[in-house]
Structure 1
């Protein structure tokens, strides 16, 4: 007689909570390496084409990580069987990360094969693990496997093509994959998923994405520290170093002080947890993470060359990184707050960053001036939001009453 299939899924508590486990944190170490590789690649290819290529690679890296986070929301990582599956994924993830710098040169096939293997292996593992345990979940992952199979020829064709065609093929592959969750994975013979099928632990998903933000911010700290360590200590480099770290710390504050806490609470209590996780965490965290990566590149360039003329590429990353970060946070907080309009503080920050960008280009500002100004805008945004949501304006600036009454509660 054959052995019964092992039950590999979590047993949740009365609050539907699934704690993040040590193996999940260990798995994330691969993505510390991946984020570092993406930053270095963007720094080495700071052109419109290089930025687009790096964006494609970032979207692929994020897609591998977020799908794995969905899977470990259900699977019990304390089971040896699941741990081995994650370790196999980590091995392929290291290969994928190592291929990033030359993914559009010599390592295209290594990147594509590593990516496709990770996505299909994990998905088919879920199909196998769900059989006889949760038939609805098994059907969902059959649908997901179908969508990954749709994109597979595009990944391989791109890897075997020259760089320009590779970019087109891989953009098409990601377009297919990113359309899957949005359309609820319509599949011949299986139809679409239902939102009720995605019965995840919202608190676990919120915590996993918050931890990925720590990875991205940690990479920014490492890049700043490593760059500063190799520089001669001058007044401009000290100012650039301090401004860079204040900017990173302010990004942490903007995301974690309000957004992460409120999002975690809302998704834990939501009746449509699957749809909220898809929108707020699967999609809207992409510009937040991208913003941190781009800002880290701008900080490295500012540290290396704080004085002199700011070229257009530097201004774009120095302003574009914080803008991506603020826009992503604004949309995330809007979706998870129930407010009628997105946070007003973030509108102010985005407008001020645009002014700094135009001023820096037309006024021929030095990189240090542009970078410090961008950090000042982030700091202003964080302070405005904190005072708005913690009653500071009414306490310290009652003359702001009319503006607070209109916009304050949406920060």
Structure 2
């Protein structure tokens, strides 16, 4: 059971799902305390998880305990592992200089000992640190140093068949390219990482690469939206540049707080409310009145902005009203031939628009009839499943 929990924790760590990994690592530690095995390994795993979650109050005591164990041992492997854990903790504290020094010391030590896996692990983390520096303060020096390290270690990984590290480094190369707006090359690297992960059945890295590719695509769309604006005033140009850097930093570092939609309304093409779903209880309103308002304003917008275009498509017609803003809320709209879908959010962003379009695409052919005898049993569970798949 201890090994199983530790392995599951490691799997979720590789996927970057540290909150999910935590209970498994804690369970492994609980069992380890009882049987007296693998204590240092599980301690260092927990240190990494807590550091990634920015919970340094819990990471630091575990790191101290790990230090006590290593001090009583003459194992240089444990010394290297501890150094990597310390470096990771400082990295997540954003103490880049200290972390970089520790990573380089750890790499030198384990390279001397010929512990290839630990050398690769430390190298990947160092590359991620250099990526973070590049995101915060773009420079040719940071990018060149990161690429030089990655290419050197990637050659070793390829020669020795270390496919997981090869895929990880390819992901970082993709993100490095994205940090300088080289989105095409970024997507090429990330697509290559997806292929590697598929070929070698690296499920956790496959999910990670897909997630990063999705982020880069969204980032590309956000940057394109900014670039399309004609800005003639210097301070607005500087503000645009700053905003772009903030976008890419928050996206890649995972610091952005994604706001959950408030509610989703599904209306018939005639404006009849068919179903309403609440993601939380922070917004109270009469959904029947809301549906009537949405139906009326959609019809009004369609008549007001009626345009014939050869480029019209089901989800991008020029005549369709895309959103309505009222106070601090925005009602995002998508439609199919049978339904109108309204998502109520605090602010629209490319991700929520993509989610709503995906839900529209997946639900457009579903027969939604609340008066049907099979609605509660069959249709409603299917709607909820698709909502969960697209939005949660």
Larger strand percent = 2
Report 1 or 2 for greater relative contact order, CA contacts < 8 Å, sequence distance ≥ 6: 1
In the superposition, the TM-score normalised over structure 2's length comes to: 0.30
